Structure formats: C-alpha cells, structure tokens
Amino acid sequence: MKKRNLFLVVSLIMAMVLLSSCGGKEAVDEGSVVKEEVKDDYYPITIQNYDYNKKPIELTFNRAPEKVIAVYQNSIETLLALGLEDKIVLASGLDHDVKDEYKYQFESINYNKNIPSKEEVIGLESDFILSWYSIFDEKRLGDVKEWNSRGVNTYIAQNSGIADPNTLENEYEDILNVGKIFNVNEKAEQIVNEMKTRIEETSKKVEGKEKVRAVIFEVSEDGVFRIYGENSIGGNIATSVGADLVAKENGNIGAEDLIKLNPDVIFTVYYGDSIAKDEALSRLENPALASISAIKNNRVYPMMLSEVYASGVRTLDGINTIINGLYPETK
C-alpha cells in the first residue's frame, strides 16, 4: 500500500514538472534558463519584382528586412505610412517635404539628400533597397542581380520605369507588396482600400454626366508642355473618374496645340528645384493662352509630381487633387 502511495506521489510530481515546462516560455536545462524557440509561420515569403532589364524575378524574404535603404518620395513615405521608420538606415531623394502626418516619424531617420553610393550601401550593411528603376543603372547602384547575390533584396516601384502603361493597379500592388515583405498586410490593405473607395464613390456620383475636358502637363521654361497622357498615373486617375483627357498621348506639345485642345481644366505639375509650385502657375501667364477655357475660368490647379509619378501613398492625394479639380461640387 505504501509503495503504491509513493508511486502516485512520484507520478504527480513528474506530471507537474512536465506541464510547467511545456506551458511556459522557458525550460530548465542543467540549472540554466533556456528560452524556447518560437516558430514563425509567416516567413519565408516570395515576392515578384524586376531586374534592370525589366525582366520578372522572384525574391525570397526569410524575415522582415532590418536595414533598409529608401530612395525617393514614394519609397520613404510608404515605409513611414506603414510604421516602419525604425527599419530605415538611410533615406534620400525627396522632391517635396514629407507629408505632415509623417514628419514626426521622419525626424527619427537618417536622411541625406544625396543618392547613396554603392560603398555607402555596403558600409551600412543594408539588407533591402527600396527605390526607382533609375537608381539601378551602372552609374549608380548597379543591377539588382548584383545586390541579390550579396544577400540584399531589392524592390523597384513598377511605375518608375518598369511598367508601361503606368496604372493605379501597379501602385496598389507595390504598396501591398511592401506590406507583405514586412508582414504589415492589414495597414497596407487599409491604405489601398481608401484609394479604391474614393475612385469608386466618385465614379458613381458622376456617372451619366457630361465629361469634363482636362489636361495634365509640366510647363518647361521655353513654353513646351510635357503631357501626362492616359498611360500615366494622373491620366489613369482622370479617366477612371470619367474625365476626357484632351491630350491622350505622353509627349510634348506647343502653345498652339494647347490652344486648339482648349481644355476645361488644367493640372500643372511641379516638383523639387526644377519647377516650384508658383512657377508651375506663372508659366501659364501668357496672353496667347488667355482664350483657353481653363485659364479664362480659373480652373488651373498645381499638382505635385509625386501625386502622378511613382506616387505610392500619395496616390490618394493625386486622386483627391484630380477629383476636386474636375468636380468641385463633389467635395
């Protein structure tokens, strides 16, 4: 009887030890504390992007990047919008100040207006480069394949020189892909859904109405107009909400052509040190253009480059700028 009681007591003690070691985060091993390894069920993930020859490549991420080089407006602001500022070891290449809602986060990151060299990227031991197509030419950082072979993953914004045409869908996909890479999918989806909702709601409101005749361009110092046509982000936004783009092809036109097109609404693009906001408007102060409907009726709107080119999270700003210019009554 005593032996049986002793057996029961020993069995209970062993069960308690097993339960305590399995239920907690720590286990006892020869007098030292050993933390249990927690399995990550999310990684690895594989994302499709492109090399400098514009060929699709697959990139595998075994974990979220920890040391990110972010170059140009959309790269920096997308990371800030997703709450990933602590991942950025170097940012550069802004055309405009970051959006007000990200300024506090931006203050905490290392920013240099100059584009980094290969040596700087290597010295920072970066594991991820997020940027535009142009940065991966031989004079700058070199093709992505070189970086991938070093264990550095890359992601090129599709509308920065890879895709033709440039589309809203490409911007949506880029934001969602960055969300996937860092496992912040819900935040990325919220950003994209807000853009889609604004387009869809406006399209319904203006359905059946007469199309507004519009044009989007940059004005050079010598009076040449660089058109953002239907194959641009701005053009895709405008046509998605029912506008009639009077200049449909990307390219350059002169003053006489613009007068003949006679748009009801003009969006004039400005950026960085090249064209200031006021200058984008003042370059249209030409008596020869005074007969154009948009100028005559004060329907000329300045628009940031980052709202219509590789726009990232500013895609929503571009959507709002274009919708408010086309349909002020729907504000």
Q: Average of pLDDT values for 60-64?
A: 97
225-270: pLDDT as tens digits:
999 999 999 999 999 999 999 999 999 999 999 999 999 999 999 9
Q: Is residue 84 over pLDDT 70? A: yes
For residues 290 and 303, give the distance between their C-alpha atoms in angstroms, rounded to a whole number.
20
Q: What pTM, to 2 d.p., does this model score?
A: 0.87
pLDDT-derived band at 38 (thresholds 50, 70, 90) equals: very low
What topology does CATH give the domain 195-330? Answer: Rossmann fold (3.40.50)
Q: Is 79 exposed, middle or buried (0-12, 13-18, 19+ CB in 10 A)?
A: buried
Q: Chain-centre distance of CA 189, in angstroms? A: 13
Does residue 217 sit in helix, strand or coil? strand
pLDDT of residue 10 exceeding 60, the answer is no
Average pLDDT over residues 26-51: 64
Which residue from 227, 283, 219 is spatially nearest to 252, judged by alpha carbons? 227
Task: Give the mean pLDDT of the chain.
Answer: 90
Q: For 45-156, which CATH class?
A: alpha beta
Domains 45-156 and 195-330 share a fold: yes
Query: Which range (38-47, 130-139, 301-310) has the least confidence?
Result: 38-47
Domain-wise residue ranges, the chain: 2-35, 45-156, 195-330
Residue 303 burial class via C-beta count within 10 angstroms: exposed 0-12, middle 13-18, buried 19 and up: buried
